[in-house]
Amino acid sequence: MSSLASQLATDAAFLAKFKDEPKKAIQSLIDKDQIQRNADVVASLFISVPGLDEAGIGDYVGDGDPFCAEVLKCYAGRFQLQGLGFDDALRKFLSAFRLPGESQKIERIVNAFAQQYHKQNPRTFRAPDTAWVLAYSLIMLNTDAHNASVRRAQKMTKEQFVRNNRGIDDGKDLPRDLLESMYDRIVANAISMQPFKNDSGDASIITYTNPQKAGWMRKRWSDSWTWNARWFVLKGSCLYFLRKPPVWGAPCELCGHIALQSELVARKAEVQRDADQGHWILETQTGASFRAGKIDRRAGTMKTSMKSQLRLIAQNRDDMEEWVGAVNANIA
């Protein structure tokens, strides 16, 4: 932290003024020659000064003033978003300040995020506009899903969310499973402002970023009669299962994992009841036991046990077939 940042962090008068009138507070620093009239310098203060009012930051960078627009561009440019999933990148960006209520300010801020994300992840979407539309859509979904005044029957469904985002990628549809996964993650974990972790928050999510497949399934080991709903993530040659979708900046509630060794095989269950059309099985080709890791919550450690079979129920038949194909393709 710079000496100026340290000084401002303890300057009660400046912090109070910034909370009430952020533009005048910053201008006062410029008028007193405490800082240069330089967009990157102001953006740096927004990152480095602890205790700066988060709503004030949002109001300042969302303002239509040309200098504030320059600050917004510099501010967004300080976020490292490369390699993060889209909704996790959005969570990271929105963790440092509070979005203003004015729609025009929100649009400017979301556009700056979209430009930065597309710049660092140019192959994710066909154009920056895709990131802008999708980010705005996720913010609206977050508001709808976690606003207590919106009745359950009126909340946006997964199908409505997918339909609302058709054709947004330069006239093309984004993969349905990508949109459905984002929907599930937003509904399970609200986007919220939190103590800003900057890049340190990446560690909580990077293991699960850009998986081959992810989503809710019910699971039951062969030595148990209990079915548990878990969020599964298939990445590389490992199948993880968690209590809820992992998101940027929050502790991941990992329950366990299975290393997909060469002797394993995923297959459709022989009997498919009408209610469980997505039933499939993970086991060894010979029927022998295989190793599975499970978190011991009392000890806080991963323990290994031998299992003969894992039964899973996906969302539907198509989802089950996708899981079976993806798991088999990733078996080492």
Q: Which residues are catalytic?
A: 102
The whole-angstrom separation of Cα 56 and Cα 82 is 27
How far apart CA 172 and CA 169 sit, in angstroms, is 5
Q: What angle do CA 201, 185, 206 make, to 5 degrees?
A: 35
Contact present, 8 and 40 (Cβ < 8 Å): no
Strands 279-284 and 264-268 turn out to be antiparallel
Q: State the distance between the two ends of the chain, measured CA to CA, in whole angstroms.
A: 46
Side-chain half-sphere CA neighbours of 31 within 13 A: 6
Is the separation of the CB atoms in 64 and 104 below 8 Å? yes
What is the C-alpha to C-alpha distance for residues 255 and 208, in angstroms, rounded to an integer?
A: 14
Angle between helices 103-120 and 54-61 (to 10 degrees): 80
Tokens of 325: 């194909």
Alpha helices in the chain (DSSP H): 3-9, 12-20, 22-31, 39-48, 54-61, 66-77, 86-94, 103-120, 128-146, 158-164, 176-188, 317-330
172: left (phi over 0), alpha (psi -120 to 50) or beta: beta
Torsion on CA atoms 201, 12, 10, 200, rounded to nearest 10 = 0
